[in-house]
Homo-oligomer: A and B are copies of this chain.
Amino acid sequence: MEKEFNVVGHRLPMTDAAPKVRGTAQFTDDLTLPGMLYGKILRSPLPHAKILRIDTSRAAKLPGVKGVITGRDIPDRKYGIVPKAKDEYALARDKVRYIGDDVAAVCAIDLRTAEEALELIQVEYEELPAVFDPLEARKAGAPQIHEGIENNTSFSIRKEFGDVQKAFGECDAVLETKFFSQPVNHAPLEPHAALAQYDPFNGELTVWSSTQIPFFLRRNLSNTLQIPESRVRVIKPKVGGGFGQKIDMFAKDFCAAWFAMHLGKPVKFVYEREEVFISTRQRHPMHITVKTGMKKDGTILAQQFQVFADGGAYNSTAPTMIALSCYFLLIPYRVPNLVYEGYHTYTNKPVGGAMRGHGIVQVRFAVERQLDMIAKRLDLDPVEIRIKNSIQAGEPHPAKFIIHSCGFSDTVKKAADAIGWKDKRGKLPFGRGVGLAGASFPSGTNNMSHISSGAVVQWGQDGAVNILSGAADIGQGAETVISMIVAEELGVSLNDVRITAADTGITPLDPGTFGSGVTVRAGNAARLAAISVKQKLFALVAEKLEANAADLAAGDGRVFIKGSPEKGMTLSAALKAYQYSDLPMPIVGRGSWMAPAIEPTTLLKEEGNFSPSYSFMTQAAEVQVDLQTGKVKLLKMVTAHDCGRAINPMLVEGQLEGSVAGGTGQALYEDVIVERGQVVNPSFLDYGFPTFLEMPQIEVIEVETDDPIGPFGAKEAGEGTQLSTAPAIVNAIYDAIGVDFLTLPITPEKVLAALQAQARQE
């Protein structure tokens, strides 16, 4: 990359790294308020049941208990991030739909008392037949989980592009395969928490929440608790990871708010780890049938998909998930004929929701594995077919995606080279292998009515730049990236920039953190605000320098004439001059940005460009299978990523490495095991996350394409790599031992069983 920038492109540590490392950063649970009370939630022990009666009287009488509520105490309003998918109550009203469903809440002077009170609540249930499999749930006569939802299928989509049947007839090879992608948990290190305070006098509710979407939470609190939106203030403290799990709002938010409003005291809820596993969200388990038709030169002619997503008990982001799962099959490869049938079905199990690679991880695993399978049948090189079918920037797209920049084929080539493809593929000793997979991801979406991102930038006379942004940093470094963009634009150092992000009371509207759109959306808004603030200062400087404001530039703490940089003044002098001018106004600029794109739920009905830009990535993995134990060791992962331009390469690498960790878990380790609706491994001890010991050597290759839409050319970097990690590993396992795994995760048991079957066949 050319070193034309002072801040952008530099490997700068996150601006909030030190307080986090030193333990002084404040997450929601670190906040205390005078007179604060503690809340706990009573959860359903049954997967499906009518609530006949709840007796809270004994709990309410326990000394120290300040309140006990059930669903009947809260207005009859459903909540949810997707307006047309709202099917959830703050607390269950008539029935419970999964083990862990929210039944009642207590609030007490301390946690121990609240926990004791939970045991005193008596709930009389009438158990109903339950269903745990989405295919069963779709059958006639299956228990109905939500009233009025036929076949328990709340959302479905069928889309055809081109003429698939005709195209299959023209193929040299057609392969149909069934895959299954398992449920996994996001498990952010910070459990979900909320703290609420209410001012009964002016009716203002303030909620501090570990959330990715402060403005959506504001809207849902307003609607559910029936108070004006303008009287709800949501503040996002430091958030310790989300990965999509904190895109939803939860009982803790509504109950903390309700108690605060009715008791006049601040109230805090913090979920236990078990609650995070069972009662928040997980990645949708998916049954996927893929049929791919290919010409013998490797050209993909047609693909057909049938996808059954297991939604668990509620919708959460169902329509978005199913739409993403469909449309992102049309990228990064050119698929001229494609038909997709997808279903989101309720079961009496934990709820599926958005998770890093939302709805795409599952189908991408299937497609990328099957591409290798069909390549093998046609005796083609998996690398070659990926390059051959790669979509190109500017080409017409069947779903009307507009692709301004595309480095996909470069990522394939570079990843293959870096893993040593030519020397290793098919040539390593039995048990060792390499594999590769590709993907594409959006850089944000225009989601669900909060579509624009705003920013206000203020330049103090002390030289400090203050950004007000509604963007939600959940640990990924959004605040650092936005600050770097502004620092670059204003010619100051990153240290001179302070950002207040995500306080709906003072920061402008922003949709929040999802779809990997923060850098592009909030970054563009902040950049525009910075340009506007710069112009205000430049007008004065131009006068002092007897120059044209348009000829001025800022950099390295100075403002100068572009042509003759020696003619200028320090920013500090310029700011002082402004401050002591006749009308020393606050130097404030505003910016706003909205992606030229349609909303994802619209995709259920019609096509359209979905994202301002698309990133591309290829993973290449090398694995060693232990033939005695069946354990797969991921030795190396090459991550070639086209993120347009890395605003901060170190943070991009952090994102990519995190995605490798997540994808490795998906491929080899993680599984939310549910038995008759009961999660049996809801703890860090029982659930098999990869740890640092399982991490491979990671080589990051940045393929920069300088996208014309994003700030300084940036695109997505937060999720895409998660898509291609698992299939790259699975493909490498095939190369290592010649076994086709179609179900994740690939545990040692499965590997051993496969090796034994292989031995029997030989």
Contacts and interface: CB of A to CB of B under 8 A. Distances in A.
A586 B500 contact: no
Nearest to A33: B24
A594 B581 CA distance: 11
B590 A588 contact: yes
A506 B496 contact: no
A266 interface: yes
Contacts of A13: 201
Contacts of A32: 32
Nearest to A592: B585
A85 B106 CA distance: 58
A199 B479 CA distance: 16
A32 B341 CA distance: 54
A196 to B, nearest CB: 11
Given A202-B15, A586-B590, A579 B509 contact: yes
Interface stretch (A136-144, A455-463, A559-567, A752-760): A455-463
A198 to B, nearest CB: 9
Given A233-B498, A266-B24, A202 B18 contact: yes
A197 B583 CA distance: 34
Contact of A583 (B229, B231, B592): B592
A35 interface: yes
Contacts of A16: 199
B495 A202 contact: yes
A508 B266 CA distance: 30
B586 A456 contact: yes
Nearest to A466: B506
B509 A505 contact: no
What is the total number of copies of this protein in its complex?
2
A396 interface: no
Nearest to A36: B24
A546 interface: no
A266 B202 CA distance: 32
B34 A509 contact: no
Interface string A484-509: 00000000001110101000111011
Contact of A508 (B202, B232, B495, B586): B586
A203 interface: yes
A452 interface: yes
A264 interface: yes
Contacts of A229: 462-464
Contacts of A495: 202-203, 231
Contacts of A496: 230
Nearest to A509: B461
Interface in A555-586: 579, 583-586
Contacts of A291: none
Contacts of A369: none
Nearest to A584: B452
Contacts of A233: 498
Contacts of A200: 18, 22
A588 to B, nearest CB: 5
Interface in A448-489: 452, 454-456, 458, 460-464, 466, 468
Contacts of A34: 23-26, 30
A201 B264 CA distance: 39
A18 B460 CA distance: 33
Contacts of A230: 460, 462-464, 496
Contacts of A460: 230, 504, 508-509
Interface string A588-604: 10111010000000000
Given A23-B35, A463-B228, A498-B204, A594 B590 contact: no
Contacts of A18: 199-202
Contacts of A197: 19, 24
Between A25, A204, A458, A463, the greatest number of chain B beta carbons within 10 A of the residue's beta carbon is seen for A458
A710 to B, nearest CB: 18
A235 to B, nearest CB: 12
A214 to B, nearest CB: 12
A503 to B, nearest CB: 9
A228 B575 CA distance: 15
Interface string A1-33: 000000000000101111100111110001011
Contact of A594 (B35, B462, B500, B584): B584
Interface string A430-457: 0000000000000000000000101110
A364 interface: no
Contacts of A452: 579, 584
B586 A464 contact: no
A705 B373 CA distance: 89
A265 interface: yes
A592 B588 contact: no
Nearest to A197: B24
Given A24-B197, A199-B18, A218 B585 contact: no
Contact of A455 (B464, B466, B494, B586): B586
A134 to B, nearest CB: 37
- Most chain B CB atoms below 10 A, which of A264, A265, A458, A585: A585
Given A35-B24, A201-B18, A586-B455, A500 B506 contact: yes
A201 B35 CA distance: 34
A498 B505 CA distance: 7
Contacts of A24: 33-35, 197, 199, 264-266
Contacts of A23: 34-35
Contacts of A509: 460-461, 579, 584, 586
Contact of A199 (B19, B202, B468, B584): B19
Contacts of A588: 456, 508, 588, 590
Interface in A209-232: 218, 222, 228-232
A494 B463 CA distance: 34
A471 B232 CA distance: 24
A434 B579 CA distance: 51
Contacts of A583: 592
A30 B35 CA distance: 10
A496 B203 CA distance: 10
Given A201-B13, A460-B509, A22 B264 contact: yes
A195 to B, nearest CB: 12
Closest 4 CB pairs of A and B: A18-B201, A230-B464, A508-B586, A454-B586
Given A19-B197, A218-B462, A230-B496, 20 more contacts: A15-B201, A16-B199, A18-B199, A18-B201, A22-B35, A22-B200, A23-B34, A24-B197, A30-B33, A203-B495, A228-B463, A230-B463, A454-B586, A460-B508, A498-B506, A506-B506, A509-B579, A584-B592, A585-B591, A586-B590
Interface of A: 13, 15-19, 22-26, 30, 32-35, 197, 199-204, 218, 222, 228-233, 264-266, 452, 454-456, 458, 460-464, 466, 468, 494-496, 498, 500, 504-506, 508-509, 579, 583-586, 588, 590-592, 594
9 contacts: A13-B201, A19-B199, A19-B201, A222-B462, A228-B463, A452-B579, A452-B584, A454-B585, A458-B506
